[in-house]
Structure 1
Amino acid sequence: MTTSFKRMRRQPVLAAGVLLMACSMAQPVAVRAQVSAQAPLAGQARTFDIPAQPLADGMTAFGRQSGLQVSVDATLVRDVSTSGVSGTLPPSQALATLLAGTGLVFRFVNATTVTLERPGAAAPRPGPVQLDPVRVQGNQMPAQADIGNLMPPYAGGMVATGGRVGILGNRDYMDTPFSTIVYTEKMIEDQQARTVVDIVANDPSIRSQYGQATYDDRLFIRGFPVYTQDFSFNGLYGVSSPYAIDLAGIERVEIFHGPTALLNGMSPLGAVGGTINLVPKRATAEPLTRLTALYLSDTQLGGQADIGRRFGPDDSLGLRLNAAYTGGNTPVQWNSDKLLSLTAGFDFRSDSTRVDADLGYLQRFVDGSRPNTTIAAGLQLPAAPNSRLNDNQPWSHYYFNDLYGMLRFEHDFTPDITAYAKVGGRRSNGRFIIGAPQILDAQGDTLMTPRRSVNYSESLSAEVGGKAKFTTGPVRHEMALSGSYLLTESGSLNVTLPAVRSNIYAPVTAPAPSLAGIPTQPVRTSQTLMTGVALADSLSALDDKLQLIIGGRLQRVQVSNYSAVTGLTTAATPGYDQSALTPAVGFVVRPWKALSFYGNYIEALQQGPVAAAGTTNAGQVFPPFVSNQYELGVKLDLGTFGATLSAFQITQPSAIVNATTNTLSVDGEQRNRGLELSMFGEPFQGFKPLGGITFLEGVLASTAGGVNNGKIAPGVPAVQMNLGFDWDTWFIKRFAVSARVIYTSLAYLDAANQQPVPAWTRVDLGARYSIVRADGKPVTLRADVVNVGNNNYWTASGTLSQSPPRTFLLSLSADF
């Protein structure tokens, strides 16, 4: 990108900033009293899923799902039942359906309150009982609150209307100058998603680096690697598992496309293409006891218990418990998988103070693991083997466990000023025998040198900050100040084991290596401390038609490395201590409620290199790599259908050694440009499309000696498409079907573009059916098939990996 083009891209943003700043300085500062003006809700389509049950319970569910207050005489609904309502429709129409056959009618008292009465009643009956639409609570939290303030689901219930945008807090997607999407608990349940890899199969900008029966949940977002360690938990890094994420205790998965240094701080491994935030479950207004039986092919069996209750005055205390277990053989040869997940979520809310806490334990044993494959330089990639075959060994395995916890606190000093603090941590232990078979010839012969690895990691993470809302003349401000701290210590012990030979088409078993005499205690190898201070201001004017977000974060990275043998610092393991300031700016222009235009400039940070021994500048410590993104986009919200179209460019620097001078420099560069389209909602009753398409151009702009300049970046395809739908059929009540097509075009394994990986396509299908028992509680049967055609293909998103084989998932859930 030329300098002149960068200036052209910055001009609209800077002009908007000057305009808002001028308006701000033209008037004295005045703290704005919070006004919760509610727009009429009766005509806004909402998603309803209310089964047949007693009318009193049905009205409580209606209030929660519609956002309306419901006032009803308890004697009026006694011994009256409703046949329920489902689908996306205006609340008035949903309520009419809910009351059909009950002999009752409704009347709007005002824009946000509805009451029930008998036809012809002259006035409301005395003694009404007020039903809260969301939580049965006697307090109203401010808009800037994070705890207990999830954005409502969008039409169809599969995605949310918005989510957490780092230190900016929760924002509607139409008012967010970045590309985001948030998948809900309903979608996780209906798609039987077990891991993050399962849920991101709906996102056209994301690909999993590994296939089934592998090591962790690392991803490729916008053509750049994002590791599991870069996932955050309730906005805090260093809490969730560094290996694999189980979704049993997760309520939402928030996906941010693009760098996030200002918003979230530098992630542990320096994610560039995007980040994932996991939102844990909380107790809902209605008591929940849900038991689920699970089956996964070939012989995996398991179950899940999900229990939620609220207690105390105004139901101010909440407890949500989840326990899940699966174990047995997968469809992959020699592979078995056992997973245990236990989570507990607690919350407390008063008029001005909110507290929540999480505690979790995750354990996984995988035998016959099948991680990535490599290939000899210059060799053309052979055809993919049968996806059920395992090119690793039956004795390969990875075992890990994680114990993690987190505590958050919020207090409102005034309706417009809120302070918060959160702290969390994790201890992870792992034992592995893993290796990456290398393909040696066109016949598929392989050579693998496995290693015995024992490791651990501990982290302590914290953030404190505050948010304030005020006005300066015609401009509203939402300012955020944050300080972050993340300390991570890790250790490992790696021993190389004897090499084994096999074949991808006809796997050969080798005797298990002897582990006698190999130490079992890992040695500390590194300690990383990342601290930062961030300040951001969200300015809005003209009734939010013009919005600007500006801010910056000062980040410091301190690394101590230790000998893997002695655990001590040596000259061969130099430390690292560098800082960087990362600014960001974003704007939203929303001329109409249904349409918004946005743009941003934002950066990502990665630890810079240290020149190795043997180079002319050995020992030189470079500052953190600064990757930057320019993005322009448009968003649509028709009430029942939403979409985002964005064009972006991300530039990532890299270190290269000059062959002539033998000097390490930060002159390498990869540039990914893309066009991204995503859609969601329920444009027609019961029909919910989801997915989109991404066009990518990943280019190696600057390489060592210029040898590969202009080549396509490894692992970056030109086209990624994920298109799916979920359809509540009209011919069978409460019966739904779903389908998804995933397509990825050709990519390259090597920087010279001599080893292409063919394009691939995968089709997934699903169905579910619900019944309602006499007590009004639902029972739901779900069935899904991943890779229906059992297609065999290679994937090349960061690593070479085999496709998942055809996999059947079946579950039966019942509420009690």
Structure 2
Amino acid sequence: MSVKCWSKVVARTIAGAIASAAAAASVPTAALAQVPSAQPPSSQPRSFSIPPQPLADGLTAFGRQSGLQVSVDAALVRGQSTAGVSGTLTPVEALNTLLAGTGIVYRFVNATTVTLERPAGAGGAAAPGTLQLDPVRVQGNTPPPQAEIGNLPPVYAGGQVARGGKAGLLGNRDYMDMPFSETVYTDQYIQSQQARTLTDVLAGDPTVRLGWPNGNVFDDRVMIRGILVQNPNYGLGGVYGIVPNQVDTTGIERVEVFRGPTAFLNGALPSAVGGTINLVPKRATDRPITQVAALYLSDAQFGGTADVGRRFGPDNALGVRANATYTNGETSVNNQTAERLSLTLGLDYRGDDTRIDADIGFQKRNIGGFQGGMFLAAGVQLPAPPNARNSSYQPWERLQTDDLYGALRFEHDITPGLTGFIKVGGRRTNTMSVFMNQNIVNYNGNTTVLSAGQYRSMAEVLSAEVGARATFRTGPVKHEAALVGDYLKTMNYSLNNPLAIASSSNIYNPTFIAAPMLTGLNASTPLTSDSLYTSIGVVDTLSFAEDRVQIIGGARLQRLQTANYLPSGLPANGADQAVVSPSVSFVVKPTKEVMVYGNYIQALQQGPTAGAGLTNAGQTFPPFVTNQFELGVKLDFGSFGATLSAFQITMPSSYTDFTTNTLVTDGQQRNRGLEFVAFGEPLPGLKFLGGFTLLDAKLTSTAGGLNNGNTAVGTAPFQVAAGLDWDTPYVKGLGISGRVVYNGQVFLNPANTQSAPPWTRIDAGVRYTFERADGKPLTLRANVTNLFDANYWVATTSFFAQNQPRTFMLSLTADF
């Protein structure tokens, strides 16, 4: 079947699956026992993250996270435990969940105090106003531990990050059981930062460096552990390769950032050596969702969002979640406009032993005066950055993209300890850009035209995964095993129509010229590259001593088949390589608060692909083998957690040769680093998220040893990001936030004779939430990126770009 037919196949499959789910929803299942409700004066939802633990400790955490005073006799809760509670809930809903199965009653003495008492018939009658919980809350449609769908890990204290996330074929795991480094950003964090794009979400990650300054560019490329990671290595609900080139946060519940090579965990991907990013789509909750927001971004961008979710049928088995965002207007960069439309629809079915998820999305962007990369002539030192608000790009430069993407996930519990699953997804992306790459030729900022043209491309992707996960025991040893097979087919079509533009300009005092004539240009998009990545992976986690010691071992057979084509359609070159990649890791928990881990991963990765504007644009280099060693320590004090990791990664080195404007590979790159990430709510209402990265990225085995020992292009030796978010106790509903980001010096060429200087940026925000007369919240948020309007160069490869100027963001969000 042609890859071009993927959208019709996926659409028919999704429609059939949802129709089957609706029919299955009519089958009765175990129902929720009814729990009486009592409303305290405040019913505003809050973020809760209370893991399973003794009930006394859980109530202490509940009091801290809810802001309520809990009064209870210690004898009443002695020996009792709780399954915990997580998510955005009202205090009553959270307390109901926390006390489920205990038989304990409670009543609100006043707006801020709740008292727990013995139930009626157990030492006396309950006081008036007391709520008695059912002795057992039986919830239907609860997925088993080995399932992924419906098993979202709970949020951590403070609500900015989650306790865990997806780790490829290992499934969802708590961060204290994961022998890797991962941070999972929640919807609460995304909203509080007013993050409109993936670039905005990752702006405060201390281990990630953004490849572009804002969301009005080609893609969401980032540097993780000193290695370039791009959108083909991003996943949607664990289906990789189908994410649009520039991610909008519309319809996204969480963003999972995984650090280090992931081919063993996620299958063969185009280039996932530094890490991968997985987007968790939103799902309908038991509570109906109707939320709308009005948006503003400086200088004159206006728009809005809508988020609607409902559940239907017995036990709320069928869910629908629809999201939409539209913004349009002038950005904070002179002569630049941005229009963005994003639509998503998420459907899900939760049966007794079957679960189905489906997502479909459409995204369209139209950027006028878009800012591509700048280049630096050989032997020239990089001049000081211009005012970020004054663009030296031509107003007629343009980027237009549209993405249609979707995914379907199916899980079935074959036995209580065995779950089989199938995932399939696809994407079609169309891109058109009119560009003029500037080449800085002297320290005064004078520029010439390095290349110019109209670039047209289309990408078609079909991605699939099938497998099974099982949990079982052999004597005292618990096993969590998985067997999976992955398929990723990508076809790239592109054509660059060169434009003969001879123009000199200056980055401080640009010369604007008339727009070139685009009539009569070749409108075709011939096939330029074709790739097929297939793999089979197997893994087993052996747990001892009540999971305090875990050993994880496995291997993946990977095969990468690639082909490049000439504009005439004739084959140019290609590769077909297969390798068995082993992996081993361990987890040791000397105490419940401390975990030590280590891992070794070997992976086969596709070589880099030359980007638009280069003379070999679209060329994909042969595959290569990478290796990573990592050791780390994780802490979990309930309200505050941290990860410290040391790693080494080896891989081939690639960079852009300015003399030929060509992407080339030369030698090997060895990255050694130390990462520290901390998160949580160390004090009531005060949330922290930040850390640092120390990186020693060196070139080895270069041609003739010329650049041996030099720092790899685009890597920074030190970077730090630290953010605070404070729910003030003085004014109810008022919160303030601040963040500082520092990035060290970056070399632009392998000889280390050209570099971009370090920079520091400060962001800030304020929000105010209050209840309307109907008890629903209304939230006003104001954020500013680059508070002091600093000017600096953003560099992650051989080329670089101007930073984002000071940008104001306002939103008014209402729930109905």
Are 1:707 and 2:706 counterparts? Answer: yes
Letter of the aligned partner of 1:407 in structure 2?
L
The residue number in structure 2 matching 1:214 is 217
Instruction: Sort the Cα spacing of 1:125 and 1:48 in 2 relative to 1 into closer, same or farther, 3 A.
Output: closer
Secondary structure, aligned partner of 1:229:
helix
Q: 1:43 aligns with which of 57, 68, 85?
A: 57
1:656-805 alignment runs, 5 A limit: 668-798=667-797, 799-805=799-805
Instruction: Sort the Cα spacing of 1:327 and 1:429 in 2 relative to 1 into closer, same or farther, 3 A.
Output: same
Task: Give the distance between the partners of 2:120 and 2:637, measured in 1 at CA.
Answer: 30
Instruction: Sort the Cα spacing of 1:767 and 1:60 in 2 relative to 1 into closer, same or farther, 3 A.
Output: closer
The residue number in structure 2 matching 1:562 is 565
1:275-286 alignment runs, 5 A limit: 275-286=276-287
Aligned-pair distance for 1:60?
A: 6.5
Task: Give the distance between the partners of 1:65 and 1:574, measured in 2 at CA.
Answer: 63
The residue number in structure 1 matching 2:178 is 176
The residue number in structure 2 matching 1:808 is 808
Aligned-pair distance for 1:41?
A: 4.1
The residue number in structure 2 matching 1:631 is 630
Aligned-pair distance for 1:67?
A: 4.4
The residue number in structure 2 matching 1:257 is 259
Q: 1:165 aligns with which of 164, 167, 178?
A: 167
TM-score (norm 2): 0.84
Task: Give the distance between the partners of 1:795 and 1:122, measured in 2 at CA.
Answer: 65
Instruction: Sort the Cα spacing of 1:341 and 1:122 in 2 relative to 1 into closer, same or farther, 3 A.
Output: closer
Aligned-pair distance for 1:604?
A: 3.6
Q: 1:236 aligns with which of 236, 239, 243?
A: 239
Instruction: Sort the Cα spacing of 1:38 and 1:804 in 2 relative to 1 into closer, same or farther, 3 A.
Output: closer
Would the aligned equivalents of 1:586 and 1:598 in 2 still touch at CA under 8 Å? yes
Secondary structure, aligned partner of 1:750:
coil
Would the aligned equivalents of 2:707 and 2:751 in 1 still touch at CA under 8 Å? yes
- Cα deviations across residues 573-598 of structure 1 (Å, max 9, x unaligned)? 12321112111111111011100000
Aligned-pair distance for 1:725?
A: 0.7
The residue number in structure 1 matching 2:125 is 121
Letter of the aligned partner of 2:598 in structure 1?
G
Letter of the aligned partner of 1:318 in structure 2?
G
Task: Give the distance between the partners of 1:396 and 1:244, measured in 2 at CA.
Answer: 18
Are 1:482 and 2:484 counterparts? Answer: yes
Aligned-pair distance for 1:61?
A: 5.5
The residue number in structure 2 matching 1:536 is 539
Are 1:384 and 2:385 counterparts? Answer: yes
Aligned-pair distance for 1:105?
A: 3.7
Task: Give the distance between the partners of 2:311 and 2:185, measured in 1 at CA.
Answer: 25
Letter of the aligned partner of 2:506 in structure 1?
N
Task: Give the distance between the partners of 2:117 and 2:53, measured in 1 at CA.
Answer: 18
Task: Give the distance between the partners of 1:117 and 1:812, measured in 2 at CA.
Answer: 50
Instruction: Sort the Cα spacing of 1:698 and 1:440 in 2 relative to 1 into closer, same or farther, 3 A.
Output: same
Instruction: Give 4+ residue runs of structure 1 displaced > 4 Å after superposition.
Output: 46-51, 58-61, 64-67, 69-73, 101-104, 115-120, 122-133
The residue number in structure 2 matching 1:22 is none
Calculate the aligned-residue CA RMSD, in Å: 2.9
The residue number in structure 2 matching 1:552 is 555
Secondary structure, aligned partner of 1:202:
coil
Aligned-pair distance for 1:522?
A: 1.0
Letter of the aligned partner of 1:593 in structure 2?
K
- Cα deviations across residues 56-84 of structure 1 (Å, max 9, x unaligned)? xx9976435884255899xxxxxxxxxxx
Would the aligned equivalents of 1:63 and 1:70 in 2 still touch at CA under 8 Å? no
The residue number in structure 1 matching 2:44 is none
The residue number in structure 1 matching 2:518 is 515
More moved, 640-649 vs 554-563: 554-563
- Cα deviations across residues 127-159 of structure 1 (Å, max 9, x unaligned)? 9676999xx952321111111110000000000
Task: Give the distance between the partners of 1:60 and 1:119, measured in 2 at CA.
Answer: 30
Would the aligned equivalents of 1:259 and 1:604 in 2 still touch at CA under 8 Å? yes
Q: 1:524 aligns with which of 505, 519, 527?
A: 527
Instruction: Sort the Cα spacing of 1:59 and 1:444 in 2 relative to 1 into closer, same or farther, 3 A.
Output: closer
Letter of the aligned partner of 1:476 in structure 2?
K
Task: Give the distance between the partners of 1:353 and 1:713, measured in 2 at CA.
Answer: 49
Instruction: Sort the Cα spacing of 1:101 and 1:177 in 2 relative to 1 into closer, same or farther, 3 A.
Output: closer
Instruction: Sort the Cα spacing of 1:672 and 1:116 in 2 relative to 1 into closer, same or farther, 3 A.
Output: farther
Secondary structure, aligned partner of 1:558:
strand
Are 1:441 and 2:471 counterparts? Answer: no
Are 1:354 and 2:355 counterparts? Answer: yes
Task: Give the distance between the partners of 2:666 and 2:800, measured in 1 at CA.
Answer: 27
Instruction: Sort the Cα spacing of 1:750 and 1:129 in 2 relative to 1 into closer, same or farther, 3 A.
Output: same
Aligned-pair distance for 1:40?
A: 3.0
Task: Give the distance between the partners of 2:123 and 2:305, measured in 1 at CA.
Answer: 46
Task: Give the distance between the partners of 1:214 and 1:639, measured in 2 at CA.
Answer: 40
Would the aligned equivalents of 1:137 and 1:316 in 2 still touch at CA under 8 Å? no
The residue number in structure 1 matching 2:116 is 106
Q: 1:202 aligns with which of 201, 204, 223?
A: 204
- Cα deviations across residues 535-562 of structure 1 (Å, max 9, x unaligned)? 0111110111111111111111112332
Would the aligned equivalents of 1:63 and 1:69 in 2 still touch at CA under 8 Å? no
Instruction: Sort the Cα spacing of 1:465 and 1:758 in 2 relative to 1 into closer, same or farther, 3 A.
Output: same
Percentage identity across aligned positions? 50
Any stretches of 5+ residues in structure 2 without a counterpart?
1-50, 69-87, 610-619, 656-663
Secondary structure, aligned partner of 2:693:
strand
1:71-90 alignment runs, 5 A limit: none
Task: Give the distance between the partners of 1:609 and 1:282, measured in 2 at CA.
Answer: 35
Instruction: Sort the Cα spacing of 1:414 and 1:507 in 2 relative to 1 into closer, same or farther, 3 A.
Output: same
Secondary structure, aligned partner of 1:381:
coil
The residue number in structure 1 matching 2:146 is 144
Would the aligned equivalents of 2:271 and 2:607 in 1 still touch at CA under 8 Å? no
Secondary structure, aligned partner of 1:189:
helix
Instruction: Sort the Cα spacing of 1:125 and 1:379 in 2 relative to 1 into closer, same or farther, 3 A.
Output: closer
The residue number in structure 2 matching 1:659 is none
Aligned-pair distance for 1:257?
A: 0.7
1:404-419 alignment runs, 5 A limit: 404-419=405-420
TM-score (norm 1): 0.84
Task: Give the distance between the partners of 2:242 and 2:230, measured in 1 at CA.
Answer: 14
